[in-house]
Amino acid sequence: MEFGLDYDQKLMQDSVNRALDRVCPLDRVREAADANEIAEDVWLALVELGIPGLLIPEQFGGVGLKLLDAALVSEALGRHVAPVPFVASCVMAPLALLHAGSPAQQSKWLPKLAAGEITAGVAISEQIAGARDGCGVIAKDGRLNGRAMFAMDFDDAAFFIVADTENKLHLVGATAKGITENPLTTIDLTRSLGELSFTDVEAEPLAHGNALAALRDAGWTMLAADTLGAGWQMIEKAVDYSKDRKQFDRVIGSFQAVKHLCAEMAAELEPGRSLVWYAAHAFDAIPSDASVSAAHAKSYLSEIGRFVARTATEVHGGIGITDLLGLHFWFKRIGLNRQLLGGPERVRHLAAVMQGFAAA
Amino acid sequence: MDLAYSKKYEDFRAETRAFLERHRTDFPKPYGGGRPSAEMLAWQKRLIENGYAARTIPREYGGYGADPDILKSRIIAEEFTRAKAPTGLAGQGISMLVPTLLDVGSEEQKRQYIAPTLRGEIIWCQGYSEPGAGSDLASLQTRGVEDGDDFIINGQKIWTSTAQSADMIFCLVRTESERAKHQGISYILFSMKTPGIEVRPLKTMTGNAEFNEVFFTDVRVPQRNVVGGRGQGWFVANATLKHERGMLGDPNAASARLHAIIELMKEETVGGQRLLDDPVLRDRLMQLQGRVMAMQFHGLRLLTAAAAGNDVGLARLIVKLEGCELNHQLAAFAIDVLGELGVLYHDSPHLRANGFWQRAYMFDLGLIIGGGTAQIQKNIIAERGLGMPREPKLARE
């Protein structure tokens, strides 16, 4: 019985963190966010480490690791508010192809994804978080019609994995005839989201029926891990600031009012780490627990993430809310993670449904 | 990450299960504190002989003498819970005094006290807190004045559970009044039958007297009953408080409460509708389920780290704060689920679960405060876990 990370996992996460420390400091994040684009050099550093192929088997040029490894990367990316594709392109899209793709689809796309030559988007929001503004994609005779919002890793995606209103998945080339891309601007400028409109668009169905649930569970776990990393970074920044900032002739970190805020953040956030680890592990090793634990990881980190984001900002006092300090990049990242693929109330409802406590 | 147990542990689990199956008819009523029944004493003896109690205490002091193996301890706990078997005797003598004596007791003290304590023949109470010394425990004023080979002890202790049935007390007493606050305390063992001791039950908001006040008037105690040396009491006691804090945040208790609440929500109806079908209550249930899972896995993480001898720092420091709070929130939620029925108490008609949830809600508030208040826990997390500075000392008036 061992509940924890092994040596290789610690090493891998260390090397991702070190690479991001080097190529993705706050100034670089700010630059990419201002230009509203992916940080190409940060992406290349991840490609160098094999991150795009993390979950892709070696036969397709990937590394063939597990979702727990991906969660460790997601945590590191959240920690650095890295302006790069990941959750959809490096996790959900490869999993869609691995779970439900034909051999032809797999050998066409997986090697390119693994090599980081292309990225992919995922548009399943309507089927998980619920349809807004009349969205929803209807599939009929290999053609898609309708609209999908909150497509993840949207910019520059070579193809999209799209869920239709019957929860079936389709692969659509980004340049397919009849598709219109419409970027959505969120609070978080480090990640790209968009809306896809389909007018009689030719799409390849992905065969397997239950892949949407796997995509959802993986997506929830990755977003939770991202918040874990972003949240801990905010706590560390708050603690560091409180040891430096003086008022009333003392560092503010010596006031219990400030110490207790920091202790509460740490005490609430840290058990979320074990929940993320378990959900990611269950995805590969304990299928019966995978969906419920992924839902709880997403819900827990969303709730605690919001508490940490506002409290860490508050510990900084006035400077905390300025653009100059840049704490808001983490604040907004956590804010986006909370709502993507369903806010906590929605996710908890789904967790109740999964356990037979509520009707869908 | 590998949540399966290896063959060695699965074999141990099977062995434990078989033992419990074999002795199902010997199960005594669960130990509720105080003086154990004859059946309980026999059960305790059997558990020690088979390594299910006092497992890692050396044989020469009356234990089973196994090497520490935290996974085996966990398997024992899991299997006893599964079989609804009463575990061995608990209480402050076994959980706090015995580890202390093993650490710093003299050979004579170890031989005299450990074995009979393990067998349940000596019941102990803990004399730490005083009316004027709670969170600031080191400011305690119960005084021991040297008189020949003895101390003459005067003062008062409070929050002393089990004092009415205890044979002995392990007690913090200020014996070196000229020394600085933390250096003047001794950790002393003495009989509760010593002349000059008065025990008064302390009734709490639950309606029960879970605690006592203990008064000392010229209580004569031999100096050789000091553990760990004169003036060393603060350091001796701090070592044991760690054991207590580990005990107070049990994640399995939270899990058991959650399951009881789910059953409650399936069984109870309001206006003919199951409580589980109320979307607001269901959302609260799901929130708590997420928290219970997080603490359970956090517990597994700490268990793995402890088995490997790794210190996880902050992760360990949060357990008392988070664990006690979660148990309290679960009790609060159960009361809300029951609604008006949730306020029934004592021996009222329509009472549910014998009033457990209200009693737990009130009693658990004491656990949040006792063993280091939530605020003290936050200081510890901030200072030792996050490296934040201590409160500056005020200048002495």
pLDDT at B397 over 50: no
Is the Cα torsion angle A91, A95, A98, A100 positive or negative in sign? negative
Contacts of B215 (CB under 8 A, 6+ apart): B156, B197, B198, B199, B200
Q: How confident is the model at residue B241 (pLDDT cuts 50, 70, 90)?
A: low
pLDDT (0 to 100) of residue B90:
84
Q: How many CB atoms lie within 10 A of CB B241?
A: 14
Q: Which residue matches tokens 């902050």?
A: B314
Q: Nearest-5° angle of CA B219, CA B225, CA B231?
A: 90
Express each pLDDT in A78-102 by its tens digit: 999 999 999 999 999 999 999 999 9
pLDDT (0 to 100) of residue B306:
84
Measure B317 CA to nearest chain A CA, in Å.
8
Dist CA A204 CA B89 (whole Å): 66
Q: List Cα–Cα distances, B361 to A112, A193, A340, B3, B356, in angstroms.
A: 58, 46, 36, 33, 8
Here the tokens at position A192 are: 């790209």
Higher-confidence residue: A65 or A207? A65
Please give the full DSSP string across A269-328, using - where no structure is assigned: HHHHHHHHHHHHHHHHH-HHHHHHHHHHHHHHHHHHHHHHHHHHHHHTGGGGGSTTT-TH
Dist CA B88 CA B85 (whole Å): 9
**Do A1 and B71 make contact, defined as CB atoms within 8 angstroms?**
yes
CB B231 within 8 A of CB B181: no
- Does A289 contact B at CB distance below 8 Å? no
CB B83 within 8 A of CB B20: yes
| Residue to substitute from B388, B390, B394, interface A, most A β-carbons within 10 A | B388
User: Residue type at B324?
Assistant: C
**Do A267 and B321 make contact, defined as CB atoms within 8 angstroms?**
yes
Bridge partners of A202, per DSSP, are A143
- Does A243 contact B at CB distance below 8 Å? yes
Here the tokens at position B143 are: 């005084």
Which residue among A239, A255, A300 places its CB closest to the CB of B386?
Answer: A239
pLDDT (0 to 100) of residue B243:
56
Mean pLDDT, residues B194-201: 98
**Do A253 and B389 make contact, defined as CB atoms within 8 angstroms?**
yes
The complex scores an ipTM of: 0.97
Nearest CA in chain B to A297: B290
- Does A47 contact B at CB distance below 8 Å? no
Query: How does the average pLDDT of chain A come out, rounded?
Result: 97
Higher-confidence residue: B217 or B71? B217
Express each pLDDT in B275-310 by its tens digit: 999 999 999 999 999 999 999 999 999 989 988 888
Residues of A in contact with B374 (CB under 8 A): none
Q: How confident is the model at residue B47 (pLDDT cuts 50, 70, 90)?
A: very high
Dist CA B296 CA A274 (whole Å): 9
Express each pLDDT in B329-340 by its tens digit: 999 999 999 999
Which residue among A267, A273, A348 places its CB closest to the CB of B322?
Answer: A267
Nearest CA in chain B to A295: B290
Q: Alpha-carbon Rg of chain B, whole angstroms?
A: 23
Catalytic residue IDs of B: 244
pLDDT at B140 over 90: yes
Contacts of B150 (CB under 8 A, 6+ apart): B220, B221, B222, B223
Higher-confidence residue: A61 or A207? A61
CB B146 within 8 A of CB B220: no
Higher-confidence residue: B95 or A300? A300
Q: How confident is the model at residue B250 (pLDDT cuts 50, 70, 90)?
A: low
Residues of B in contact with A259 (CB under 8 A): 378-379, 382-383, 388
Which residue among B283, B295, B387 places its CB closest to the CB of A348?
Answer: B283
User: Residue type at B113?
Assistant: Y
**Do B318 and A271 make contact, defined as CB atoms within 8 angstroms?**
yes
Which residue among A242, A258, A352 places its CB closest to the CB of B286?
Answer: A352
**Do A275 and B375 make contact, defined as CB atoms within 8 angstroms?**
no
pLDDT (0 to 100) of residue B376:
95
Express each pLDDT in A223-274 by its tens digit: 999 999 999 999 999 999 999 999 999 999 999 999 999 999 999 999 999 9
For chain B, the helix, strand and coil percentages under 3-state DSSP, each to the nearest 5? 50, 15, 35
Residues B13-35 as b or e (16 or more Cβ within 10 Å = b):
beebeebbeebeeeebeebeeee
pLDDT (0 to 100) of residue B307:
84
Q: Alpha-carbon Rg of chain A, whole angstroms?
A: 20
Is the Cα torsion angle B7, B12, B16, B19 positive or negative in sign? positive
pLDDT at A283 over 90: yes
- Does A220 contact B at CB distance below 8 Å? no
Q: Which residue matches tokens 């305790």?
A: B44
Dist CA B226 CA B170 (whole Å): 9
Sort residue B94 into left (φ over 0), alpha (ψ -120 to 50) or beta.
Answer: alpha
pLDDT at B247 over 60: no
**Do A277 and B386 make contact, defined as CB atoms within 8 angstroms?**
no
Measure A232 CA to nearest chain B CA, in Å.
11
Which residue among B3, B286, B297 places its CB closest to the CB of A274?
Answer: B297
Nearest to A332 by CA among A216, A187, A116, A209: A187
Mean pLDDT, residues A311-336: 97
Residues of B in contact with A235 (CB under 8 A): 386
% of residues, chain B, pLDDT over 70: 96
pLDDT (0 to 100) of residue B78:
86
Measure B394 CA to nearest chain A CA, in Å.
13
User: Residue type at B47?
Assistant: L
Higher-confidence residue: B68 or A45? A45
pLDDT at B245 over 80: no
pLDDT (0 to 100) of residue A119:
98
% of residues, chain A, pLDDT over 70: 100
Mean pLDDT, residues B157-169: 95
**Do B2 and A299 make contact, defined as CB atoms within 8 angstroms?**
no
pLDDT at B135 over 60: yes
**Do A2 and B286 make contact, defined as CB atoms within 8 angstroms?**
no
Q: List Cα–Cα distances, A215 to A46, A116, B155, B181, in angstroms.
A: 22, 20, 66, 61
Here the tokens at position B390 are: 């201590």
Number of alpha carbons in the 13 Å side-chain half-sphere of residue B102: 22
